[in-house]
């Protein structure tokens, strides 16, 4: 007879992920030991591999959980209630600083996974990058659509094209942030003031264009 597989205990699974999040955030992927996670989660090392198959899968699960936890805890109205895109950038930064203090492990792992994926095994890098790309693709329209609906757009402008431009700008700013994080993985949100200022300037161009207003002769 085939051996009956024991069901996953949701409480133990959640405990493993929470401990893994702290360990990965503090020590990085390579220096985190599954035996340490097992000890702190009060489970056997074998149980971790039965639930997650490998350290790599545990890491991917933990990163997904971390981004989901941050998004669930975030007050989206901070972004959505902004009067324009520039205000959204400033309010979002200030709010992220507050959240970083409240959720240090979550933000440490999120920044590590996003900005320092080169420190991961090669097979993990594209999978982690895909998680981040999905987060951005899902969150940007959610945050900016209420603002765009309140802004007076020129006739004929497709809001979907505007959202696509904002998503492209977000990716551009994200790549610059990634370079900074790779150079110093211990950066805080407040260290990105220069990038935020550039993001504001770019959003201003999106909203108002870059050509001078024509004057009548």
Decide if 172 is inside a domain: yes
Decide if 187 is inside a domain: yes
pLDDT single digits (tens) 83-126 = 998 899 888 888 887 888 889 899 889 888 877 666 788 889 99
Decide if 181 is inside a domain: yes
What is the pLDDT of the chain when averaged over all its residues? Answer: 88
Q: Taking CA 212 as the corner, what is the angle to CA 206 and CA 216, rounded to the nearest 5 degrees?
A: 135
Contacts of residue 49, defined as CB under 8 A and 6 or more positions apart, other chains included, come to 34
Decide if 125 is inside a domain: yes
Decide if 170 is inside a domain: yes
Domain region containing 157? 64-208
Give residue 1's pLDDT.
45
Q: Which of 164, 58, 38 is nearest to 109 (CA)?
A: 58
61: pLDDT strictly greater than 90: yes
Give residue 2's pLDDT.
46
Radius of gyration of the chain (CA): 21
Distance CA 80, CA 75 (A): 9
**Tokens 């996974």 identify what position?**
113
Q: Count the domains in the chain.
A: 1
Decide if 16 is inside a domain: no
Decide if 39 is inside a domain: no
Decide if 45 is inside a domain: no
Q: Is-above-0.95 flag for pTM?
A: no
Query: pLDDT over 90 for what percent of the chain?
Result: 48
Q: Which of 53, 62, 71, 79 is nearest to 14 (CA)?
A: 62
pLDDT single digits (tens) 8-57 = 899 999 999 999 999 999 999 999 999 999 999 999 999 999 999 999 99
């Amino acid at each position: 007879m085939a051996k009956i597989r024991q069901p996953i205990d949701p409480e133990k699974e959640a405990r493993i992920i929470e401990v893994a999040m702290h360990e990965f955030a503090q020590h990085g992927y390579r220096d985190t030991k599954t035996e340490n996670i097992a000890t702190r989660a009060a489970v056997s090392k074998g149980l971790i591999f039965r639930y997650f198959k490998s350290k790599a899968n545990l890491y991917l699960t933990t990163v997904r959980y971390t981004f989901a936890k941050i998004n669930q805890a975030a007050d989206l109205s901070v972004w959505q209630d902004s009067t324009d895109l520039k205000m959204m950038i400033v309010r979002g930064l200030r709010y992220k600083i507050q959240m970083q203090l409240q959720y240090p492990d979550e933000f440490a792992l999120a920044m590590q996974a996003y900005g320092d994926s080169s420190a991961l095994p090669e097979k993990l890098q594209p999978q982690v990058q895909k998680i981040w790309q999905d987060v951005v693709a899902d969150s940007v329209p959610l945050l900016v659509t209420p603002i765009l609906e309140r802004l007076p757009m020129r006739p004929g402008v497709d809001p979907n094209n505007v959202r696509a431009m904002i998503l492209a700008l977000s990716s551009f700013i994200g790549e610059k942030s990634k370079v900074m994080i790779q150079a110093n993985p211990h950066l805080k949100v407040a260290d990105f003031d220069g990038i935020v200022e550039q993001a504001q300037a770019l959003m201003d161009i999106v909203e108002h264009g870059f050509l001078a207003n024509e004057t009548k002769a």
